[in-house]
Chain A
Amino acid sequence: MKQFIHDLAKLHEGQATHLLQILRDVQARFHYIPDAAIEQLAVLLSIPRTHIIGVVEFYSFLHLTPRGQYELLLSDSITDHMLGKHALFSYFAQQLQVTVGEVRGDGLVSLDNASCTGLCDQGPAGLVNGYALSRLDKPRIDQIVALINQQKPVEQWPAELFSVTDNIQKSGLLLDTPLQPGEALSALFKRGLPETLAEISQAGLRGRGGAGYTTAWKWQLCAEGSKEEGLQRYVVCNADEGEPGTFKDRVLLNSYAHQVFEGMTVCAAIINAQHGFLYLRGEYLYLVDKLQAILTERREAGLLGNNILNQGLNFDIEIRLGAGAYICGEESALIESLEGKMGIPRNRPPYPVTSGYLGKPTVVNNVETFVAATHITVNGGAWFAAVGTEQSKGSKILSISGDCARPGIYEYPFGTTIQAILQDCGASDVLGVQIGGPSGTFISDQEFARKLAFEDLATGGSFIVFNNSRNLLEVVNNFTHFFAHESCGFCTPCRVGTALLKKQLDKIMEGHGSAGDVVALEELGRLIKQHSHCGLGQTAANPVLSTLERYPELYQRQLKKISYEPGFDLDAALDIARRMANRDDAGAHLAQVDAVDIGGDYE
């Protein structure tokens, strides 16, 4: 092991910023991070051991205690549940003779849950030693169990177990327009850098991660922020799509990677960056070899590296992998993770455009944003702005999953109604749609005339359909548990609040709630939303709050008594206390009227 760690640290030139990548390799080799490895790495990387322990305990895919030689994880996304995950999970555990969350006695295999793995259109899905398993069913599970018991190395498992298809059901503005590698860069240099930025500005391109910040503005702020000579700047592509129900970046990176990298290079030229990162979520490990090959291809074609297209531009891209932390999709947490730290969102200001990676100006954009920028560079701003609505130009790529006949990737002009989308994907008897994933909005069947747009329903791309056979509270419960699991724990309202929200909802789900518990649930949701440090906490209560608003009766039905009638007289019970305290003022009385009223309203 000593040699392995030594070589690994050497390979990464002893850089502490590579810690997460190094730990991923240690985990892959030993199936945990041994104490001795921590001690050795602390010396080789010149960082305190507590820093390493912190990182190991922060990321779901790293462990301080041994996992099985075959580390199996099943995706716990609501979409996997809708495809029968629960029964399959039990079957898996039974066939493997392993307890969920634990390692089998012989140390060969462990089985546990993972947050959404990004295969919602071809689930139930899982991961074995980090590699994606698709379309799990009983025959496939039998096959996997046999392979594990034969101790066949994962590399030798049949390819069909790992087959992931693009599943593009409807293409539009971006996916329909073919581009050759280098086409956008040629157009960029031909038109000029400021002129191209002007085109991107005219296009009205806004960030595709869901927040919708104007892309051209972000690039300009980064380029102009500091006049310091020779200042290093960075371009980061956020490919950490962890929002349950989102998988469009998986497809863009699998089939449109040239356009992603080209968009990053266009950005680099405009902001004067020399270095770029693709921060890829750990769940997409299977894409890495292919992406590396494309980067190599681009270097050989003069589209990356030194003196790109003989225009004096020097820029290269490095792929960094996450390790199971939803919060790293938040841009400042992503930057922390790139620096080899726990993914804890930073205090802002300063924003990444002035102080990002290693404190240097950094642009962080979504995968789809870079693809769009590539297209705009070739076809111009007017071409893009001709599609969409006033405030939302262009198209949006959706990942559609759940109760529909044709799940997959759909590209729509902004302004398309939810009704039209539901028709295309073959959804019927629809109860509602979760737009933008758990952190987004749940809309009911009364709202299908609403539109896909930043000014109406903004989304990073997750679109989950629920039909009338679904229990909405189970959906909300799944989302609420997800947020509690993914909270980084930095701030009090999110760390404690999401855990409390989970408990409170469980209490109601289990039939132990009374009217006051729904009021408490709402209050708690508001506190978390209003006071949390970052977007995760600020949206963590959305599933509860948006369904409480639309379907209060769903919650009421779970309560012990719809009309709350206390079994005894609260005020009378205080009589003795009043006499002992010699008090009879208003504060010494408990009104029951409020409680009864609450119960009454709920009927």
Chain B
Amino acid sequence: MNKTITIDGKSIPFEDGQTIMDAAIAAGVYIPHLCHNPEFTPHGSCKLCTVKVNGRTCSACTFPAMEGQDVLNNTQALTDDRRRITQMLFVEGNHFCPSCEKTGNCQLQAVAYHLNMLDNHFPLFYPHREMDASHPEVMIDHNRCIFCTLCVRASQQHDGKDVFAISGRGINKHLVVNAPSGLLKETDLDVTDKAAHVCPTGAILIKRTGYQVPIGERIYDHHEIDHVSLAAAASPATAPSLAVNTEDSQHGE
């Protein structure tokens, strides 16, 4: 007898050790997320995957699935709040989609489309943030960092390195790299590292690959993020046009 939870009234099987997000993805149910990537330890910080579990607010990516859970995911109230949280991410940094190389391949932008975000709602912070173009092949545009820590986790958990970290407190949080000078060129980051390709926004970009895929022909120009996300999780190997396309387009392969 399989163990199940319900998400929006639909019965979803799960195995012990799975989070609500794991169970949902396996069952083809999309829960919006940005800091989550099934390949790495869940972080639970962006709060886009907020769901109601038996009336209690939980992060689906970190909360364990347990028998008897009645989960609300796709409700108007949650969608409205997720839109606000996405707007917070937009105003906190400097996200100018039309001038960003990542436009069309950007998960932040795609989630915003998915949630029908039509404005910033909140006043913009216009923070002063630096660019780091010191590395021969990879650049960091701190303006677009949303502190999801995916690069941090990818470097530690996949690349066996420690290139990135998040430092600072509160609204002064910022991405730092592991070099005495604080510059990317002095780290042991290699362009083939997972950490260089995992950024959901345009904060970490591969040099000399910009605009090889024209705007209008990019992933989210033609597919909603829920489809892309679920297809990639279902069969990463057979869905190159979706999941790996971000990397491919940046590699220019």
Please list the residues of chain A having a beta carbon within 8 angstroms of any beta carbon in chain B: 35, 39, 48-51, 53-54, 57-58, 325, 342, 347, 349, 484-493, 495-500, 503, 523-524, 527, 530-533
Q: Indicate if the CB atoms of B169 and A492 lie closer than 8 Å.
A: no
Residue B165 at the chain A interface, CB threshold 8 Å: yes
Give the contact stretch, choosing among B57-65, B129-137, B202-210, B222-230.
Answer: B57-65
- Whether B167 lies near A54 (C-beta < 8 A) is yes
Are B169 and A533 neighbours in the complex by a CB distance under 8 Å?
A: no
- In this complex, which of A325, A342, A491 has the most chain B Cβ atoms within 10 angstroms of its Cβ? A491
B46 touches A50 (CB 8 A): no
Q: A347-B59, A531-B57 are in contact. Are A53 and B176 (CB under 8 A)?
A: yes
Q: List 17 A–B pairs whose Cβ atoms lie within 8 Å, in order of A's numbering.
A: A48-B162, A50-B164, A50-B167, A50-B176, A54-B168, A342-B169, A485-B170, A487-B170, A491-B44, A492-B88, A493-B85, A495-B173, A496-B171, A499-B170, A531-B50, A531-B85, A533-B47
Minimum distance in angstroms from A29 CB to a CB of chain B: 21
Interface bits B16-51 vs A (CB < 8 Å: 1, else 0): 000000000000000000000000001011111010
Return B244 CB to nearest CB of chain A, in Å: 27
In whole angstroms, how far apart are the Cα atoms of A499 and B147 in the complex? 16
Out of A49, A484, A527, A532, name the residue touching B170 (CB < 8 Å).
Answer: A484
The digit string for B81-95, where 1 denotes a CB below 8 A from any CB of A, is 100110011011000
Q: Is there an interface contact between A495 and B168, defined as CB atoms closer than 8 Å?
A: no
B172 at the interface (CB under 8 A from A): yes
* Distance to closest chain A CB from B145 (angstroms): 12
Interchain CB contact under 8 A, A50 and B162? yes
Q: How far is the CA of A488 from the CA of B170 in the complex (A)?
A: 5
State the Cβ distance, A469 to closest chain B Cβ, in Å.
Answer: 32
Enumerate chain B residues within 8 angstroms of A491, measured Cβ to Cβ.
44-47
Say whether A48 contacts B46, CB under 8 Å: no
**CA–CA, A249 to B167, complex, Å?**
31
Instruction: For B44, give the chain A residue with the smallest CB separation.
Output: A347
Residues facing A in B146-179 (CB within 8 A) are: 146-147, 162, 164-173, 176-178
Assembly CA distance A153 to B249 (angstroms): 63
Contacts of A50 in B (CB 8 A): 162, 164-165, 167, 176-178
Q: Count of B residues near A, CB < 8 Å? A: 38
- Are B170 and A51 interface neighbours, CB within 8 A? no
Contact status B47-A531, CB under 8 Å:
yes
- Answer whether A489 and B162 are a contact pair too, CB < 8 Å, given A499-B125, A531-B57, A531-B85: no
- Known contacts A489-B172, A489-B173; A495 and B46 CB within 8 A of each other: no
Given known pairs A48-B178, A54-B167, A484-B170, the reply for A533 and B45 (CB within 8 Å) is yes
Inter-subunit contact A53/B165 (CB<8 Å): yes
Nearest 4 A/B pairs, CB to CB: A50-B165, A496-B88, A489-B173, A487-B170
What residues of chain B lie closer than 8 Å to A325, measured between beta carbons?
Answer: 169
> Which residue of B is nearest A348, CB measured?
B62
Question: Do A51 and B173 touch across chains, with their CB atoms under 8 A apart?
Answer: no
Residue B126 at the A interface, CB < 8 A?
no
Q: Is B113 an interface residue (CB 8 A)?
A: no
Give which listed residue, B89, B122, B167, contacts A57 with CB less than 8 A: B167
| In contact, B171 and A499 (Cβ under 8 angstroms) | yes
Which residue on A lies nearest to B66, using beta carbons?
Answer: A349
Query: Does B98 make an interface contact (CB < 8 A)?
Result: no
B42: chain A residues at CB < 8 Å are: 347
Q: Shortest distance in angstroms between A284's beta carbon and chain B's nearest beta carbon?
A: 21
User: What is the CA–CA distance of A485 and B164 in the complex, to the nearest angstrom?
Assistant: 24
| Chain A residues positioned under 8 Å from B216 (CB to CB) | none
Apart from A347-B42, A499-B170, list 19 A-B contacts with CB within 8 A. A50-B165, A50-B176, A51-B165, A53-B176, A57-B172, A58-B169, A487-B171, A492-B46, A493-B47, A493-B88, A495-B171, A496-B89, A496-B92, A500-B88, A524-B122, A527-B84, A530-B81, A531-B47, A532-B47
B214 located at the interface, meaning its Cβ lies under 8 Å from any Cβ of chain A in the complex: no
- Please, which residue of chain B has its CB at the minimum distance from the CB of A493? B47
- Kindly state whether residue B9 has any CB partner on chain A within 8 Å: no
User: Are the C-beta atoms of B167 and A58 separated by less than 8 Å?
Assistant: yes
CB distance from B10 to the nearest CB of A (A): 24
Q: Smallest Cβ distance from A520 to chain B, in angstroms?
A: 8
**Are A489 and B147 closer than 8 Å at their CB atoms?**
yes
Using an 8 Å CB-CB cutoff, how does the interface string of B111-126 with A read, 1 for contact, 0 for none? 0000000000011010
Closest B residue to A36 by beta carbon equals: B180
Looking at the assembled complex, report how far the CB atom of A36 sits from the nearest CB atom of chain B, in whole angstroms: 10
Q: CA A571 – CA B45 in complex, angstroms?
A: 41
Min CB–CB distance A592 → chain B (angstroms): 19
Q: How distant is A588 from chain B, measured CB to nearest CB, in Å? A: 15
Nearest B-chain residue to A327, judged by Cβ: B169
- B172 neighbours in A (Cβ, 8 Å): 57, 489
Give Cα A533–Cα B61 distance, bound, in whole angstroms: 13
Docked-complex contact A527 and B45, CB < 8 angstroms:
no
**B167 contacts which chain A residues (CB < 8 A)?**
50, 53-54, 57-58
Specify which of B125, B146, B180 is in contact with A39 (CB 8 Å cutoff): B180
Closest B residue, CB atoms, query A49: B178
Q: Please measure, in the bound complex, the distance between the C-alpha atom of A349 and the C-alpha atom of B63, giving whole angstroms.
A: 7
